[in-house]
Structure 1
């Protein structure tokens, strides 16, 4: 008649077997942290430098562009101006105004967006995200603001009805073709240019790298 081994002895044998088979030790099984070995040939990636903080009234043009930069109301006033009369429904009811400013397309063009020239009309894959005060954001297709595809006059407005905007508030995005004012982004602080390829095709199908 065989005698049953004591519990401590069984536990010791189990630890030895697990160790020999490459299994987890009781400490690891209990959830203790362990360091993963780096992959062979892996090179630690340096953290991307943080973008400098924006001053009040500055607008950063960034994303998949070769020359990111910032604009202010002062710099915009020195560029060729356009004037548009608009009418739209807003939170305060029906609005009717005259805005003066710079074409959004001209401002973004100077940042040299990176379009996939291997694709037919590669710029039609691009979008522009405009961010304003309170993390408010609206998105545009590139074709909406490109005069080669649309008859729109989307502006970075510097004044409303002849009254200049405050320099610390910055320009306002004006979208004449919209019948509602949701994309009239106030206190604008960032214009991001990118493509939809990452979302549609997955990371492997993305063209270029975001900034």
Structure 2
């Protein structure tokens, strides 16, 4: 966990298994066709809160300027607006899954990001190895 956070940290698959778990039954389309699975894991929002994202509290709903980048195997990446994963704004439950259909993921492979509300599996990031929190202000305001 890195980026605009007060407490960057590393969390292993074994560490995720020790946290409170939730399940999600999902259906989505992938390159392999229609998929239907049940995943068990930790809510992404719960993991991110631990890192203490740094949003500008001086701005109205400053967290809405935030985003999360999830990177997995082969430098595969998906980006989420903060509001998509914050239960104060959305009714979604993005998971850091530790198992699929009751079969635990291999420790060396890492967790899978699971987005139950998506109809296509493009944001299901396998072998997740980095979460990065950022804010759009520097880009939008032309600093970078």
Bin the TM-score by the shorter chain.
Answer: over 0.9
Match of 2:121 in 1: 181
Q: Give 3-state SS (helix, strand or coil) of 1:107's partner.
A: helix
Alignment of 1:5-84 (within 5 A): 61-84=1-24
- RMSD in angstroms over aligned alpha carbons? 0.8
User: Normalising to structure 1: TM-score of the pair?
Assistant: 0.67
Is 1:117 the counterpart of 2:66 in the alignment? no
Tell me how many residue pairs correspond in the alignment: 144
CA distance in 2: counterparts of 1:80 and 1:190, whole angstroms: 21
Higher relative contact order structure (alpha carbons within 8 Å, sequence separation ≥ 6): 2
Structure 2's unaligned 5+ residue stretches are none
Q: In terms of Rg, which structure is larger?
A: 1
1:172 aligned residue (91, 112, 128): 112
Match of 2:44 in 1: 104
1:136 aligned residue (70, 73, 76): 76
Per-residue CA deviation, residues 13-41 of structure 1 (Å, 9 max, x unaligned), is xxxxxxxxxxxxxxxxxxxxxxxxxxxxx
Q: Note the C-alpha offset of 1:166.
A: 0.1
Structure 1's unaligned 5+ residue stretches are 1-60, 205-211
CA distance in 2: counterparts of 1:91 and 1:158, whole angstroms: 22
Q: Note the C-alpha offset of 1:203.
A: 1.8
**Which of the two has greater strand per residue?**
2
Alignment of 1:147-162 (within 5 A): 147-162=87-102
Q: Give 3-state SS (helix, strand or coil) of 2:68's partner.
A: strand
